[in-house]
Amino acid sequence: MVGFKLLERSLGVFSMLLLARLLVPADFGLVAMATSLIALLELFSAFGVDTALIQRADATRDHYNSAWTLNALAGLTIGTCMLLLAIPVAAFYNEPRVRNVLCVLAFGAMIQGLENVGVVNFRKEMQFDKEFRFLLAKKLIGYSITIPLAFAWRSYWALVVGTVLSRSCGVALSYVLQPFRPRFSLAAVKDLLHVSKWLLTQNFISFLRERSSDFVIGRVAGSHALGVFSVSAEISNMPGTELVAPINRAVLPAYVKLANDLPALGREYLSVMAMIALIAVPAVAGFAATAPFLVLLILGPAWVDAAILLQILAFFGITQVLQSNAYSAFLALNQHHVFVKINGLHVAILLPLMTLGTVFYGIKGAAWAYVVAALAILPVTLIRITHFLNLNGWQFVSQLWRPVCSAAIMYLVVRTFGPHAPTGVITTGEAARSLMICVAIGVPVYIFAVLGLWLLAGRPRGVENWILDRIPEALQKARSTLSGVLARNG
């Protein structure tokens, strides 16, 4: 399932990067201004019905019908509010084009609320192959609409119209792939909202943490600066969103099944956390070390301002990777309120720092505010989750220190001995060569650093053993495949 999700998200990365080549930062900033309002409205209607249905082993048809009804009413309400607020929001940003964008996106919100709630059974019953086909098909439909429009129009309207059309097709697809047919009902709303109250609070706080920058930067610095910051933040978070999120999504049902066996849940959590750290932390560090070349190569000269932001926000990305798996564990333990309180503290630190940073130092100040707030809250998250899982601090640290130290070594070696950041305009070929040199240096340095620290630590049982144990199997499969190919050809 994780491999399937990585494929799906890799397509999303490719699409985003291609669109960045076709459009300019101001286009992304303009759409971010509109979607920030959508995200604000959606959080008030994010009842968490998917999570509630997954957690309820005894969910009835009334629960599913009520969940669909809540979603449908929420979509209608969101769309109506978007139409009513289009003019005030455009005035807030001093950007008249936001009005028409919101009016068009309002229809997408209304349509999205009608999606077949029965698709949640793909996750609940751990039918991940079916969920993958559904999610991948939706993504492919969206890309096949948005990218051609971007080629044809070279305008933010490609993002806007593509969003509405892809949502419409996704809703239709949900009824094709899932035989459940919902009906209007509010019979089990109380049961669903009992779980959702904490999720609603969590969603609101998460919005302030993740999207408040849209309002602050958009208001203070304009659409170009917001576009640069938004895309930089998305790229710096790719290891979390593209590598870690699929893992966390896949392990949540497993965590729920182990919720009554804390020792087993603790072992599973540490195992998953070690795998996440081994893969994602060096990916984030690699983004930071190669940011100037990545920007020129994959985004183009129009995005040159994003290079310094990527280097700063990469440190924020590492903190998110290290605490991302905790949310799934909190959900499995029905400790929603704990994560809500942690995120509330995070927001209380972030908002004043980001506002002051943006006003006095622009988008660089906003980026450093994200880093400082995340570093302040990371130990709080880790202390709380280890407490609930009856783990001691050393058990957690023992799984993380090797990949974190190895990634730091890799970063320092690449920055010291790799190509230096360009001081002027360079060609795409020069950027590609510099990037390949950095990768050629960084990958072996990281691998040898991890193995070296593992050996120095006395070969403790961990994710390194899991990987080494599977290398012979992989080699054997490769030899078998090669032998089969040679036999057929000769």
At position 32, the amino acid (one-letter code) is A
Same domain, 261 and 346: yes
**Tens-place pLDDT, residues 215-250:** 889 988 888 899 989 888 887 777 666 667 767 767
Same domain, 339 and 274: yes
Range 332-341 average pLDDT: 79
Same domain, 121 and 261: no
Same domain, 187 and 250: no
Same domain, 167 and 278: no
464 occurs within a structural domain: no
397 occurs within a structural domain: yes
Percent of the chain with pLDDT over 90: 25
pLDDT-derived band of residue 210, with 50, 70 and 90 as boundaries? confident
Number of Cβ atoms within 10 Å of the Cβ of 485: 10
Domain boundary among 442, 458, 474: 442
- 39-43, 194-198, 364-368: which is most confident: 364-368
The model's pTM? 0.74
Same domain, 165 and 262: no
**Tens-place pLDDT, residues 139-164:** 888 888 999 999 999 899 999 999 89
Number of structural domains in the chain: 2
Tell me: pLDDT of 194 over 70. Answer: no
- 112-126, 176-190, 348-362: which is most confident: 348-362
Lowest mean pLDDT across 71-85, 131-145, 455-469: 455-469
Question: What's the half-sphere exposure (Cβ side, CA atoms, 13 Å) at 82?
Answer: 29
Q: Are 186 and 66 in contact (CB under 8 A)?
A: yes
Task: List the structure tokens of 168.
Answer: 């419409």
Phi, then psi, of 92 in degrees rounded to 5: -60, -45
Same domain, 275 and 331: yes
**Among 326, 461, 443, 457, residue whose Cα is nearest residue 402:** 457
380 occurs within a structural domain: yes
> What is the CA angle 124-128-134, rounded to 5?
100
Range 34-40 average pLDDT: 84
Assign 3-class secondary structure to the chain: CHHHHHHHHHHHHHHHHHHHHHCCHHHHHHHHHHHHHHHHHHHHHCCCHHHHHHHCCCCCHHHHHHHHHHHHHHHHHHHHHHHHHHHHHHHHHCCCHHHHHHHHHHHHHHHHCCCCHHHHHHHHCCCHHHHHHHHHHHHHHHHHHHHHHHHHHCCCHHHHHHHHHHHHHHHHHHHHHCCCCCCCCCCCHHHHHHHHHHHHHHHHHHHHHHHHHHHHHHHHHCHHHHHHHHHHHHHHCHHHHHHHHHHHHHHHHHHHHCCCCHHHHHHHHHHHHHHHHHHHHHHHHHHHHCHHHHHHHHHCHHHCCHHHHHHHHHHHHHHHHHHHHHHHHHHHCCCHHHHHHHHHHHHHHHHHHHHHHHHHHHHHHHHHHHHHHHHHHHHHHHHHHHHHCCCCHHHHHHHHHHHHHHHHHHHHHHHHHCCCCCCCCCCHHHHHHHHHHHHHHHHHHHHHHHHHHHHHCCCCCCHHHHHHHHHHHHHHHHHHHHHHHHHHHC
Same domain, 282 and 184: no
Distance CA 311, CA 314 (A): 5
Lowest mean pLDDT across 5-9, 12-16, 284-288: 5-9
Same domain, 191 and 243: no
Distance CA 68, CA 116 (A): 7
| Contacts with 452 (C-beta within 8 Å, 6 or more apart), sequence order | none
Same domain, 97 and 2: yes
402 occurs within a structural domain: yes
pLDDT at 486: 66
**Among 298, 173, 165, 243, residue whose Cα is nearest residue 9:** 243
28 occurs within a structural domain: yes
84 occurs within a structural domain: yes
486 occurs within a structural domain: no
Distance CA 362, CA 87 (A): 26
Range 78-107 average pLDDT: 93
pLDDT at 130: 81
Distance CA 311, CA 322 (A): 18
Which one is predicted more confidently, 408 or 424? Answer: 408
Same domain, 260 and 164: no
Q: Are 126 and 255 in contact (CB under 8 A)?
A: no
Same domain, 276 and 144: no
Tell me: pLDDT of 87 over 90. Answer: yes
Number of Cβ atoms within 10 Å of the Cβ of 204: 18
The parent domain of residue 99 ranges over 1-196
Distance CA 18, CA 149 (A): 12
Domain boundary among 168, 196, 224: 196
65 occurs within a structural domain: yes
Domain boundary among 196, 220, 254: 196
